[in-house]
Amino acid sequence: MDTIEKQIDEFRYEAADGAKVRIVEDMAVNEDERVIPFLLEVLSDADEFELARVEAAKLLGSGFEVQRERICEVLAQVLDMTHPSEAVFSSVMDAASAYDHHSPELRAALREAEARLLDADPEVALRRESSSRDAELALGFLDELGGLDL
């Protein structure tokens, strides 16, 4: 049994919730082909420890090229689920934004999830509208100054 198998077995059968987050974080430094399916499994399990799911979404959001189609498929499925946890939902939304240009299905799931979020919480819609307006004003101000010279 190699290190990856040991970590996955520990996660599934022995680890307390806090240790699960550590195991998921440890997976980030390993390029083994079993890591992405494991992260997708953790993320898609609605009964799994919330912080482990958030960490899995963060790692997936780093834009893996391998297994990209499967990642897009699972992210779209997770976005279609109802999310009692705002942290998991936000981290999945962030991860999905790293891949949405690769998958029309994921792009559609992302738009639907955003629409549900806006419908469910008018305060979010107001904050988003305010943020967009502030960003437009800032960009207009930068244009007036001659742009941003980096």
Residues 99-149 have pLDDT tens digits of 888 889 999 998 888 888 777 655 644 454 555 566 677 777 767 777 655
> Does a structural domain hold residue 149?
no
> Does a structural domain hold residue 129?
no
Could you tell me which of 74, 77, 80, 87 has the C-alpha nearest to residue 37? 74
Could you tell me the pLDDT band of residue 150, with boundaries at 50, 70 and 90?
Answer: very low
> Does a structural domain hold residue 78?
yes
Q: Are 45 and 24 in contact (CB under 8 A)?
A: no
**Which residue range forms the structural domain that includes residue 51?**
3-106
Report the alpha-carbon distance of residue 132 to residue 129 in Å, rounded. Answer: 5
Report the alpha-carbon distance of residue 96 to residue 36 in Å, rounded. Answer: 15
Q: Are 84 and 120 in contact (CB under 8 A)?
A: no
> Does a structural domain hold residue 74?
yes
Residues 33-49 have pLDDT tens digits of 899 999 999 999 999 99
> Does a structural domain hold residue 96?
yes
Residues 40-77 have pLDDT tens digits of 999 999 999 999 999 999 999 987 888 899 999 999 99
> Does a structural domain hold residue 43?
yes
Phi, psi (5° rounding) for residue 102? -95, -15
> Does a structural domain hold residue 75?
yes
Please name the amino acid found at residue 107.
R
- Burial label, 10 (beta-carbon count in 10 A; 0-12, 13-18, 19+): middle
Q: Indicate the number of domains in the chain.
A: 1
